[in-house]
Structure 1
Amino acid sequence: MSLPIDAAAALDAFQAVGSWEQRARLLMQWGERLPVLAEDQKIDANLVQGCESLVWLVGRLQGGHWQFAASSEARMIRGLVALLLARVNGLSAAQLQAVDLPGWFDQLGLSRQLSPSRSNGLNAVLQRMRELSRTHN
């Protein structure tokens, strides 16, 4: 499966840097680029369950393709969520079901730095995306 444009750009950027410090800086930069969610979207109904940090997620279907937006107070999580959004935005519901989250962060060279709680949180975000896509077919 070919990658969405933003995901391909992320992959190029992360594969171009060598050290963990450079990757961490890049991760923060991706998090800063995450569009801010409106305060009226930061409600309990949009809160992802299973994350240690607060993560809000909204999604909408446009022409058969999903567009998600998310926000988190935690800088590292914001960066990781931004990279997840880069990977999934523009996918169909079926493509969304097939996303390999560990494989994606492995390609980016970030999997070793993902603590179990961060991995679980990102999995919870992806599961929530999949739930949204199933309820809006």
Structure 2
Amino acid sequence: MATAAFEAIAEDFEFLEDWEDRYRYVIEQGKAMEPLPDALKVPATKVDGCASQVWLHPVIESGTFRFDGDSDALIVRGLIALLRALYNDMPVSEVGAVDARAELGRLGLHDHLSAQRSNGLRAMIERIRTVAAAS
């Protein structure tokens, strides 16, 4: 169960056979995001468990989930962009049903991320799920 935005990314990944190209694609996705304002880079939005600095700022309006995020690491910023494509504009009631690990697995990310990056990705997903469940 993925959004149309994430499906478009999955389709793009099918055409990128080389992992250097895929990494570049993920980084470009992150570069295309608007930076998170410094005023939102506070302890409440910081994600623990990530090797780099990561901030996620969720917003739930009219039952729709979305979030903005940022990181000081380019690849992590790209991973945030992928998660935004996966979750943004989804009914908040459906966020918990998304199997993010399986969806990201379709991109082959699990085999190509370091253990630290994988742990950080899990921490980001857990934060998203926790915020959605609390609403």
Structure 1 residue 21, shift from structure 2 partner: 1.2
Q: How much does 1:95 deviate?
A: 1.8
Aligned CA-pair RMSD = 1.3
- Counterpart CA distance in 1 for 2:93 and 2:87 is 11
- Determine the structure 1 residue equivalent to 2:37: 38
Write the deviation string for residues 100-128 of structure 1: whole angstroms up to 9, x where unpaired.
Answer: 22212221122211222111111111111
Q: Map of 1:58-97 to 2, 5 A cutoff? A: 58-97=57-96
Match for residue 101 of structure 2? 102
The answer (yes or no) to whether the contact 1:57–1:71 under 8 Å persists in 2 is yes
Identity percentage of aligned residues:
34
Give CA deviations for 1:38-63 in whole Å, capped at 9, x if unaligned.
11001111101111111001111122
Q: Distance in 2 between matches of 1:9 and 1:122?
A: 20
Please give the alpha-carbon distance, in whole angstroms, between the structure 2 residues aligned to 1:40 and 1:50: 22
Q: Distance in 2 between matches of 1:102 and 1:130?
A: 12
Instruction: Please say if residues 56 and 70 of structure 1, whose CA atoms lie closer than 8 Å, have aligned partners that are also in contact.
Output: yes
Is 2:122 aligned against 1:123?
yes
Deviation at 1:94, TM superposition (A): 3.1
Q: CA deviation at 1:11?
A: 0.8
Which residue in 2 is equivalent to 1:10?
9
Alignment of 1:42-57 (within 5 A): 42-57=41-56
Tell me, which stretches of 5 or more residues in structure 2 are unaligned? Answer: none
Q: Structure 1 regions of 5+ residues with no counterpart?
A: none
Give the TM-score normalised by structure 2.
0.93
The normalised TM-score by structure 1 is 0.91
Q: Are the counterparts in 2 of residues 54 and 72 from structure 1 also a CA contact under 8 Å? A: yes
Corresponding letter in the other structure for 1:72: S
Q: Cα distance, 1:28 vs. partner?
A: 1.1
Could you say what secondary structure the match of 2:6 adopts?
A: helix
Where does structure 1 differ by over 4 angstroms across 4 or more consecutive aligned residues?
none
